[in-house]
Amino acid sequence: MSTTAMYWKEITVNWGESDPFGLVYYPRIVAWFNDTEHDFFRTIGFPIDQMIKNDRTTFVMGDIHFRFIGPAAYGDRVATSVTLAKLGERTLHWNCKAINAVTGALVTEGTATRVYARINEDGTLNSAVIPEKMRKALTGTGLLSHLNQDIERDPEYRHPPGMRGGN
């Protein structure tokens, strides 16, 4: 099943997330998209921390591929987005992209596959079928105003040149 559900958020590149030339460290790229995905789940009513606590379920990383394209230095504003490319019986397949919020330049892009899993009493994991209620929330997100937008072209999203850094 394919869907066009998309979630984006804007972040500030923190000190230590990139080298002096704006090359973002790979683990930080993974963390950016992990945080974006967690915000998405919280927005649609399935906070990951509550899933773990109440249902003993979560989404675990199955596969990731990211490539560095352009710089993002300390203080830069970056828009991260996750787009649900495929919803499997037990998996979510995300297309991930980060752009500079001021210039629109691409910083990184890639894919991530998440596996829905049940946490067993001994701490091991077993894949599980994604519940129907969650599937409906994942595919019915077009009602949220910040989803299904082409953020590169959205004039409300873009910042005027010269606006950089923190708050």
Q: pLDDT tens-digit profile of 79-112?
A: 999 999 999 999 999 999 999 999 999 999 999 9
Which pLDDT score, from 0 to 100, does residue 6 have? 86
Helices (H) and strands (E) in the chain, counts: 3, 6
Q: Report residue 132: phi and psi, to 5°.
A: -60, -40
**Separation between Cα atoms, residue 51 and residue 57, nearest integer Å:** 5
Report which DSSP code applies to 24. Answer: B
Res 70 pLDDT > 70: yes
For the chain, the structural domain boundaries read 6-141
Identify the pLDDT of residue 147. Answer: 41
Beta strands in the chain (DSSP E): 6-12, 57-68, 77-87, 91-100, 106-119, 125-127
Rounded Cα distance between 37 and 58, Å, is 12
Q: What is the CATH number of domain 6-141?
A: 3.10.129.10
pLDDT at 142: 52
pTM of the full structure: 0.80
Q: Is the pLDDT of residue 17 over 60?
A: yes
CA dist., res. 105 & res. 88, Å (int): 31
Whether the per-residue pLDDT at 162 is higher than 50: the answer is: no
